[in-house]
Structure 1
Amino acid sequence: MNAVKTNSINAWLLASRPKTLTAAAIPVMLGCATAYIYGQFQWTPAVLCFLFAFLMQINANFINDLYDFLKGSDREDRLGPERACAQGWITPRAMKAGIGVMTVASGIDGLCLLYYGGWEMIPVGLLCIVFAFLYTTGPYPLAYHGWGDVLVLIFFGFIPVGCTYYVMAHGWNSSVTFVSLACGLVIDTLLMVNNFRDREQDAISGKKTLVVRFGARTGLILYFLLGMAACWCCFYFLFIGKVYATLLPQIYLIPHILTTQKMAKIHRGKELNRILGETSRNMLIFGILLTIGLVL
C-alpha cells in the first residue's frame, strides 16, 4: 500500500472504496425487484439508478475521506481500512477536484432520470448531494452527532428503493415501504460494525455514535437486532402472496448470527475488519435472497 503513487489511477480506485458499492447496489436491486412484481420494471431507468447510486456512494466516500482527514479523525491509530488523504495517496486539493467531478457526474445522471421520474425527482437528488456533504462537513456534521443510523435508513433504504420504484411505476405502495425498511436495516449493520470497531477512537475524536453514547454491549445488541428486524419486515410479503420473499431472506439469519458471535468474541481491534467483510457479504446475501423471493 505504501507504494501507491500520489493521485494515480490506483490511488483513486482505492479512495473510491469499491467494496462499499455493495451498499449502493442492494437498494436499487430491491427497488427493481419490487417494480418487477407489479409489472413496471424498465431496463434504462434501472441502469441509470444503479449509476446514480454508484456515483453518489463514491462521492460520499471521497467527501468522508477528505473531511475526516481535515478534522484529524484519521489518526495513526485508525483501525479501519486506510484512507487516501491520510495515507498521502491523494492530495486534499486533488480530492476536492474529485468530489467536484463526482458531484457533477451524479447530477448529470440525475437529470437523465428526470425523463422517467419527472421534475419531482429534483428535490430528492439535491437532498442526496447535500446530505453527502452534511454527513461529515459543516458546523453540525451529522455523523459526529449520532445521526448516521437514521441517515442509513433514509439514504440506503427509503430513498434509493423508493425512487428506483417510482421512476418506473410513478407510485408508492406498502411493498415499497417494507422493502425499503428491510433494506435500510440490513445495511445499517455495516455502519454499526464500523462504529463498534472505532468506538474508542471515535470517543477521542468527539464522534458521538450510538456505540460511543451507549457502549459496546449496546452496539453488539443493536447489530444483531438490525439483522433480525430486516428479516421480520419480510413477513409482510405473506399478505400479498409472496411466500418466497418471506422465507428466503430468513436464510440470512444463519450467517448473521455466526458473524454476531465472532464480533462478540473479537470485541475490539483491527481484527474486527474481518467482521466488516462478513457483514458486507451477509447483507448482499440478504439482498439477493429477497430479490429472488420477490421475483419468483
Structure 2
Amino acid sequence: MNPKSQFIDDDGQVVKQSTGKILWQLTRPHTLTASFVPVLIGTVLAMHYGDVSVLLFAAMLLSCLFIQIATNMFNEYYDFKRGLDNEESVGIGGAIVRDGFKPETVIRLALSSYGIALLLGVYICMSSSWWLAVVGLIGMGIGYLYTGGPLPISSTPLGELLAGLCMGSAFIIISFFIQTGYVNIESILVSIPVAILVGAINMANNIRDRVGDQESGRKTLAILLGHKKAVTFLGILFATAYLWIIGLVMAGILSAWPLVVLLSLPKPLKAYREFIDKKLPVQMVPAMKATAQTNTIFGLLLTAGLFISTLV
C-alpha cells in the first residue's frame, strides 16, 4: 500500500493525498447520511413517548455507520475483483484502482469495521433485547452479500428494495425500539418514505452505471427498465415519499410540522431533470448527488418537524 497517492489537478499541478484522506474517501462519505439520518429520525420519534438515552443513540449511530462503511468497502473489494472498477470509474472510493491499496487491506478494513459494529451491538443488546443480535447479524449478512457471494444482491433487481428496508426502515425501527422497548405503527409508517429515498439512492447509482453493469452481466432494475423508464421510476419513488408524509399528516398520524419536508422538493426535481437524456456516467454525477442530498435534506427536515412536534 502506498502511503501517498498523487494526481494532477485542474491546473496541471501534482497533488499528493495522505493515507488518511484516501481512507476517508474509501468510506464513501457522501453515502453515510443514508445510515445517520434514519437513526436520528427513529430516536427523535421515540422522544414522543418518553426520555431517550444519549449513550444508546450514540452506540446505534456508530454501529450503523460502521456497518455501512464495511458494506462500502466490500463493494470496493468485490467490484475490483470482478473487474467492474477502473481508474475512470465514478462514484467509488478508488483506494485500490487509483491509490495503490492492496485488495487484502480493504477487505481487512471492512471486517474490522464489522468487528467494531459487533462490539457496539453487544452494548445495544445488553441495554435492550438480545433479539436484536439476530436482526443485526441478518443485516450484516445482507451488507456482505450485497456485493459478495456467488450472486451479489447488487447484480439483481432487489438492490433497491433491500437497501431501503435495511438502511431505511430497519435503522429507524431499531433506533425507536431500543429507546422505547417496543415497535408501534407510527414508527413503521414513518420509516417507509425514508426507506423509499434510500432505495432511490441505489436506483440513481444503478441508472448512472447501467451501461457498464449490463456489459458485466448484471441484471439491476435500471437495466431491466432501460434508462427512460428507470428515470421515470425514480421520479415515482420521489413523489411517493413526499405524498406519504402528506398522507400521514392528513390521516392525523403526524402533526403538520413534518410537512416541512416539502422545502426539500427542489433537490428531487433537480435529480430528475439532470437524469433525463444523459448518456455518460460522468454527466449523471450531479443527478446522483442531488438524489443523495434529497435523502439527507428530507431526513433532516423530517427530524426537525418531529422534534418540534414534541415541543408544541
Tell me if TM exceeds 0.5: yes
1:243 match: 256
- 2:199: which partner in 1? 188
Correspondence 1:1-296 to 2 at 5 A: 2-3=6-7, 8-75=19-86, 78-234=89-245, 235-238=247-250, 239-245=252-258, 247-296=259-308
Instruction: Give the conservation status (yes or no) of the 8 Å contact 1:7–1:94.
Output: no
Q: For 2:46, give the aligned amino acid.
A: A
1:40 CA drift (Å): 4.2
The CA distance in 2 between the partners of 1:17 and 1:241, in whole Å, is: 33
Q: 1:197-237 deviations in whole A, cap 9, x for unaligned?
A: 11100001112111101111111011111111111221213
Cα distance in structure 2, aligned partners of 1:2 and 1:205: 29
Residue 39 of structure 1 and its aligned partner are, at CA, apart by: 2.2
In structure 2, give the amino acid aligned to 1:100: L
State the secondary structure of the residue aligned to 1:159.
Answer: helix
Residues 11 and 90, structure 1, Cα contact 8 Å, conserved in 2: no
Q: Following superposition, which runs of at least 4 residues in structure 1 exceed 4 angstroms of deviation?
A: 3-7
Name 2:12's counterpart in structure 1.
Answer: none
In structure 2, relative to structure 1, the CA distance for the partners of 1:68 and 1:81 (3 Å cut) is closer
Structure 1 segments unaligned to the other structure (5+ residues): none
The one-letter code of the counterpart of 2:275 is M
Contact 1:12 1:90 in 2 (8 A): no
Size of the aligned set, in residue pairs, is 295
Residues 27, 93 of structure 2: 8 Å contact kept: no
CA displacement, residues 6-64 of structure 1 (integer Å, 9 cap, x when unaligned): 99333222211111111111110111121112224321111111101111111011100
The CA deviation at 1:73 is: 1.1
Q: Any conservation in 2 of the 1:157–1:183 contact (CA below 8 Å)? A: yes
Q: What is the TM-score normalised by the length of structure 2?
A: 0.89
Write 1 or 2 for the structure with the bigger share of helix: 1
The aligned counterpart of 2:11 is none
The secondary structure found in structure 1 opposite 2:97 is helix
Q: CA RMSD in A?
A: 1.9
- C-alpha change, 1:167 and 1:75, in structure 2 (3 Å) is same
Identity score, percent = 24
Asked if structure 1 preserves the Cα contact closer than 8 Å seen for 2:27 and 2:73, the reply is: yes
- Is the CA contact 1:7–1:89 (under 8 Å) kept in the aligned structure 2? no
**SS of 2:96 mapped into structure 1:** helix
Which amino acid is 2:71 matched to?
Answer: A
Displacement after TM superposition at 1:259 (Å): 2.4
Distance (Å, rounded) in 2 between the aligned partners of 1:117 and 1:57: 22
d(CA) in 2 for partners of 1:9, 1:176: 38
Tell me how far apart the structure 1 counterparts of residues 28 and 254 of structure 2 sit (CA, whole Å). Answer: 39
Structure 2: unaligned runs, 5 residues or longer: 8-14
